[in-house]
A and B are shown apart, each in its own frame.
Chain A
């Protein structure tokens, strides 16, 4: 099973919706590649500059209800095209969460105190997080500190990540 991770982009806001992740005006694209430069272009968050802040990031840490709004899978694709394969949040909108696992990526929900801790202790520094899917643990490193945070992933989601996504899984099972 793959291990994912890398540099962290902290987005300190709840309810970031899929219109903010990838605006509707790019939904006319039928090729995924075209979405790449527009990730988080309309994000309403003070001090955030998508052109600079997304660069070289592989992990997003954010608050609650990430990915709410439209069902567009363009949102996880835009993340994937920018090399971001993990989103860690207090909670996710259902469709977004399912879309992430369907694409073989990770949407990890953590209890609030863990998310608070990530923000409090690490968001001021360059931070890296790696997810060990097998052991269900996140390894966090930044600002001279290290932490290990356990997470849970359902058996089914683990099977989807292992199969490389839902299309392959469903076509071989049903």
Chain B
């Protein structure tokens, strides 16, 4: 029978089929961070099951609030640290080496096409950019993942989003995914996997594909997936070069996770990228999406560039190219948080950090921080933040605050203008 990518991955990882369409999958990796893992660790200890299925398949990071901001967050870090030590988890990223999980783990080469990955974090779908089935789960699923290396999912139905045409100037992967979410709605892909494909996706580098897959969950999807190709292999090559004679051989191997031509989809959505314009959210749902032109002039108090959606080097480059030669408006404050130490270093080497500082940005360390309203840029009641993150829920960045989601280019332009505006105004 013809299969989708997710169906192929499920069939290759099936451990059990306990009932109906429930599949128990063997996991290739379990990712952990300090917000959802300590509760799982404590619960495993309480149950007398403080074990891990395979320390080499567990990757852990302290990223959400780093450095610790108070005694409670310090305790979360302590629990992670001690747990990683007692179970010999070598890939544990503590402060100094840490970065936002979904930016850090791909950069470290922990993802492969065809992998099954879970994490106690809804944006785990980001890793689908590599052709993996990667899904966010709750603490109990994470506990079982840590303990047994398995997780239960319904046999997946898929949705295909085919993007033709090229993205116009000033329009990025973020604008594309925002418009997709606006079209599908926050519930439009629930219990489904989204396959992103077509010439416009083929053209994208891995950073853009990660931005795309990152927000699949905002339409309710279990995972977003891009097809492995030479771009994927080139990105992974430093980590897989001992496993294959040549990049072509790696690609040939990964091709077995491409969908069959007559695979069945719940729906196939066609999008012409050439018709897109910069997008921004309004209100408190990620599917409240509007062209920037219609939100032009909306005042903001803070601009935030960072997160697992848009805190990678490419994002900082784009923002810096808009900022270069400008200063941010006196009416706003602006923060940039490079998502990982490697991104930070790259931005330093390329002079991007200088550009941000010259423009008047505060340069923060790699952390989730403000994205979920926990540190490093929490906004006050009634304040508005223009942000490159992925969630605009009421109070997400601080109680009573509003968030407008947008691309790094639009965020940079908004910082200069002091209100929401189109980045092409500052194109050189």
Determine, out of A1-9, A47-55, A124-132, A152-160, the stretch whose residues face the partner at the interface: A152-160
CA distance A69 to B365 in the complex (A): 25
Interface string of B284-318 (1 = CB under 8 A from A): 11000000000000000000000000000000000
CA distance A156 to B141 in the complex (A): 15
Interface string of B69-93 (1 = CB under 8 A from A): 0101101100100000000000000
B285:A167 contact, CB within 8 angstroms: no
Determine, out of B167-175, B245-253, B322-330, B390-398, the stretch whose residues face the partner at the interface: B390-398
Partner among A28, A65, A155, A167 whose Cβ is within 8 Å of the Cβ of B190: A65
B187:A73 contact, CB within 8 angstroms: no
CA distance A98 to B43 in the complex (A): 18
Determine, out of B17-25, B103-111, B228-236, B340-348, the stretch whose residues face the partner at the interface: B17-25
B122:A69 contact, CB within 8 angstroms: yes
B141:A29 contact, CB within 8 angstroms: no
Say if the beta carbon of B148 comes within 8 Å of chain A: yes
Interface string of A80-103 (1 = CB under 8 A from B): 000000000001011110110011
In the complex, how many residues of chain B place their beta carbon closer than 8 angstroms to a beta carbon of chain A? 55
B220:A42 contact, CB within 8 angstroms: no
Say if the beta carbon of A173 comes within 8 Å of chain B: yes
A99:B138 contact, CB within 8 angstroms: yes
A65:B186 contact, CB within 8 angstroms: yes
Q: From residue A3, how far is it (CB to closest CB) to chain B in Å?
A: 22
Residues of A within 8 A of B143 (CB): 167
Interface string of B167-193 (1 = CB under 8 A from A): 000000000000000000011001100
Determine, out of A18-26, A114-122, A134-142, the stretch whose residues face the partner at the interface: A18-26
Residues of A within 8 A of B144 (CB): 166-167, 170-171
Residues of A within 8 A of B321 (CB): none
Given A65-B187, A91-B187, A98:B65 Cβ within 8 A: no
Q: From residue A61, how far is it (CB to closest CB) to chain B in Å?
A: 18
Say if the beta carbon of A68 comes within 8 Å of chain B: yes
Closest to B39 in A: A30
Say if the beta carbon of B372 comes within 8 Å of chain A: yes
Partner among A32, A69, A96, A156 whose Cβ is within 8 Å of the Cβ of B22: A156
Residues of A within 8 A of B391 (CB): 19, 69-70
Closest to A103 in B: B140
Closest to B15 in A: A174
Residues of A within 8 A of B79 (CB): 30
Given A65-B187, A69-B122, A71-B136, A174:B72 Cβ within 8 A: no
A166:B393 contact, CB within 8 angstroms: no
B138:A73 contact, CB within 8 angstroms: yes
A95:B70 contact, CB within 8 angstroms: no
B18:A68 contact, CB within 8 angstroms: no
Task: Give chain B interface residues in 128-155, CB to chain A under 8 Å.
Answer: 136-141, 143-144, 147-148, 150, 152
A73:B36 contact, CB within 8 angstroms: yes
Say if the beta carbon of B35 comes within 8 Å of chain A: yes
Binding site for B on A (CB under 8 A): 15, 17, 19-20, 23-25, 27-30, 32, 42, 44, 64-65, 68-74, 76, 91, 93-96, 98-99, 102-103, 154-156, 159, 165-167, 170-171, 173-174
26 A-B pairs with C-beta separation under 8 A: A15-B285, A19-B393, A20-B393, A27-B35, A28-B65, A30-B75, A42-B395, A44-B284, A44-B394, A65-B187, A69-B393, A71-B137, A94-B220, A98-B138, A99-B140, A99-B141, A102-B141, A154-B20, A155-B18, A156-B20, A156-B22, A167-B47, A170-B150, A174-B15, A174-B16, A174-B148
Known: A156-B19, A156-B152. 6 other contacts (CB 8 A): A20-B394, A28-B76, A42-B394, A44-B394, A72-B36, A91-B187
